[in-house]
């Protein structure tokens, strides 16, 4: 019965701990979402700045796994280079050490206090920010309380003969025992899928006296290897750069652990030397109150030292993973392949990623515009014209696929608790993708209309002059609005509306003039229908471009 009680108490404590970590992480993401997005947007190729970004983002979201999965997603989308991504992963390893310090300070003592202080603003707060702050406090309390439950459950283990015999091998002061601990820590982290949870379990075992400091330190090294599995799994199905980023993370952590493992006894003694207090000290309640700080210090020293030592060789590591992960498809193109469930990504960065992906549609539509213009001007031979029409249809299909994936991604993201601003942005991004897809539809229609009758007959003299004047005006309007997207410049929405209305009126005038020409017998009556369809398609493109301006302006202005 004692064993069964230990098992269900540990599982319950672990569940409380996980819930606390999830609540705190999601609330921090909500509160700091815009900060994270701005950090990512101002990222430079400087390796030090990339390291700092990784540290700050991971401290804000309280999960190196969230950061690494997010980085793999950015690399897969082509929004970040491999060198930048590896630098951020280095920083994420440092940023995650703050979790160890949070759970090492007064484990369990103030758990219920934080739960009590956080529950009221979380449930009854009038503003979203106040509710999220309450949720952060509630999450911290749940973390402490879960660790207290686990620590209490582990206490009987220190006097249980079966457990003492089982861990005796892992407690021996030799490299075989150290290696066994590293392997166990790695395997358990892979199973649990959370290095923070395993760190909490390790601290709970240590503070209850079930394991010694050297055993805990070796387990933590194994946990640093096990946590890389998250990024490796996230890269499955991603492009070549995503795979390289995940493997760089794994190589970095494995090499770091290997180096520390060689000097492990000196590493443990060094931590004992710089941290006040004996890790084996036990208070009157039988708790080992000093050991948690030793574990957190060891975790921090390992990750900070490894990151700083490897930072000068960042490009060399990038070259290594490039060599061991060759690009078998030399012409691989960045495609919209969101990695896993968007619940693994910080909402603000998921929105930034989706917005950047939607901007790729702008380039596709621009290429379709260029081909359509050549086609309408009769600059292409028959075979070239057929190839151009096929390519324009391919562009339309590509936009259609991207629009569908963005819509699905946004719907899944909207299932998460989002701020008012994040919800508005998700809605606007979905609209932006839809507007680009609609524009590609009408460009495809223009290309198909060219097959109805010879364009040299339909668009000669005055009719052609009117059409191409309007075509260029609509294209310029599209470029003006969408270039503001890429340059992150605000749009004068009043000017956007005024230009749109001017083009709308011009479309009606041009259609009227052609009907007059048909009435005068200068053109065949059948040309009226096709010409009208051409102008209407351009007018529709004008309308969807106006909508693009509105949606983009909404992203900039909604608070």
pLDDT digits (tens, 9 = 90+) for 234-290: 666 666 777 888 888 889 899 999 999 999 999 999 998 898 888 878 777 677 778
pLDDT in the model for residue 438: 93
Residues 501 and 412 in one domain: yes
Residues 291 and 388 in one domain: no
Cα 138 to Cα 266, 403, 417: the distances in Å are 39, 39, 16
pLDDT in the model for residue 477: 92
3-state secondary structure of 108: coil
3-state secondary structure of 327: coil
Establish if 297 belongs to a structural domain.
yes
Q: What is the sign, positive or negative, of the torsion defined by CA atoms of 5, 8, 14, 18?
A: negative
The burial class, CB within 10 Å (0-12 / 13-18 / 19+), for 270 is middle
**Is the pLDDT confidence value at 1 over 50?**
no
Question: Percent of the chain having pLDDT more than 70?
Answer: 84
Establish if 492 belongs to a structural domain.
yes
Cα 546 to Cα 92, 469, 483, 500: the distances in Å are 41, 19, 13, 6
Q: What is the average per-residue pLDDT within 14-26?
A: 81
Residues 86 and 121 in one domain: yes
Residues 320 and 373 in one domain: no
Cβ 296 vs Cβ 100: under 8 Å:
yes
pTM: 0.64
Residues 286 and 430 in one domain: no
pLDDT in the model for residue 501: 92
Residues 249 and 153 in one domain: yes
Cβ 376 vs Cβ 450: under 8 Å:
yes
Residues 31 and 96 in one domain: yes
Last residue of a domain, one of 267, 293, 324: 324
3-state secondary structure of 346: coil
Residues 188 and 242 in one domain: yes
Domain that holds residue 503: 346-557
Q: What is the average per-residue pLDDT within 514-520?
A: 81
The burial class, CB within 10 Å (0-12 / 13-18 / 19+), for 12 is middle
């Amino acid at each position: 019965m004692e064993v069964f009680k230990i098992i269900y108490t540990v599982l319950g404590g672990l569940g409380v701990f996980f819930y606390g970590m999830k609540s705190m992480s999601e609330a921090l993401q909500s509160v700091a979402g815009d900060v994270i997005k701005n950090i990512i947007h101002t990222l430079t190729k400087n390796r030090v700045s990339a390291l700092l970004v990784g540290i700050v983002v991971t401290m804000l979201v309280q999960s190196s796994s969230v950061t690494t999965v997010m980085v793999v997603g950015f690399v897969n989308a082509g929004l970040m280079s491999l060198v930048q991504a590896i630098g951020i992963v280095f920083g994420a390893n440092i940023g995650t050490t703050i979790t160890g310090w949070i759970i090492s300070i007064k484990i369990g003592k103030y758990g219920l206090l934080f739960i009590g202080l956080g529950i009221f603003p979380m449930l009854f707060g009038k503003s979203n920010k106040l509710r999220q702050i309450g949720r952060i406090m509630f999450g911290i309390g749940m973390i402490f309380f879960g660790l207290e439950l686990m620590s209490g459950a582990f206490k009987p283990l220190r006097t249980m003969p079966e457990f003492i015999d089982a861990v005796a091998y892992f407690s021996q002061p030799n490299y075989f025992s150290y290696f066994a601990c590293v392997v166990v820590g790695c395997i358990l982290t892979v199973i649990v899928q959370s290095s923070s949870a395993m760190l909490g379990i390790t601290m709970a075992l240590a503070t209850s006296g079930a394991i010694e400091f050297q055993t805990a330190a070796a387990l933590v090294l194994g946990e640093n290897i096990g946590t890389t599995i998250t990024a490796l799994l996230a890269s499955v199905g991603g492009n070549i750069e995503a795979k390289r980023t995940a493997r760089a993370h794994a190589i970095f952590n494995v090499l770091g652990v290997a180096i520390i493992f060689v000097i492990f006894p000196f590493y443990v003694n060094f931590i004992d030397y710089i941290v006040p207090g004996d890790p084996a000290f036990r208070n009157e309640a039988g708790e080992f109150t000093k050991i948690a700080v030793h574990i957190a210090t060891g975790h921090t020293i390992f990750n900070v030292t490894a990151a700083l030592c490897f930072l000068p060789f960042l490009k060399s590591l990038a070259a290594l993973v490039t060599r061991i992960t060759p690009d078998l498809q030399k012409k691989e193109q960045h495609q919209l392949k969101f990695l896993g469930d968007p619940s693994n990504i910080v909402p603000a960065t998921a929105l930034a990623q989706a917005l950047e992906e939607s901007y790729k549609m702008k380039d596709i539509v621009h290429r379709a515009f260029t081909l359509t213009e050549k086609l309408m001007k009769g600059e292409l031979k028959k075979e070239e014209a057929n190839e151009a029409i096929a390519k324009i249809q391919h562009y339309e299909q590509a936009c259609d696929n991207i629009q569908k994936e963005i819509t699905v991604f946004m719907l899944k993201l909207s299932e998460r608790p989002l701020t008012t601003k994040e919800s508005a942005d998700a809605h606007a991004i979905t609209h932006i993708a839809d507007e680009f897809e609609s524009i590609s539809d009408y460009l495809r229609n223009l290309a198909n209309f060219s097959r109805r009758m010879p364009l040299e007959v339909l668009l000669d003299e005055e009719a052609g002059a009117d059409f191409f004047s309007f075509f260029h005006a609509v294209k310029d309007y599209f470029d003006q609005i969408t270039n503001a997207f890429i340059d992150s410049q605000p749009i004068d929405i009043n000017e956007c509306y005024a230009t749109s209305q001017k083009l709308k009126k011009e479309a009606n005038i041009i259609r009227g003039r052609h009907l007059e020409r048909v009435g005068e017998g200068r053109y065949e009556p059948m040309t009226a229908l096709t010409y009208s369809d051409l102008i209407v398609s351009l007018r529709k493109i004008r309308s969807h471009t106006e909508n693009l301006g509105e949606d983009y302006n909404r992203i900039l202005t909604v608070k």
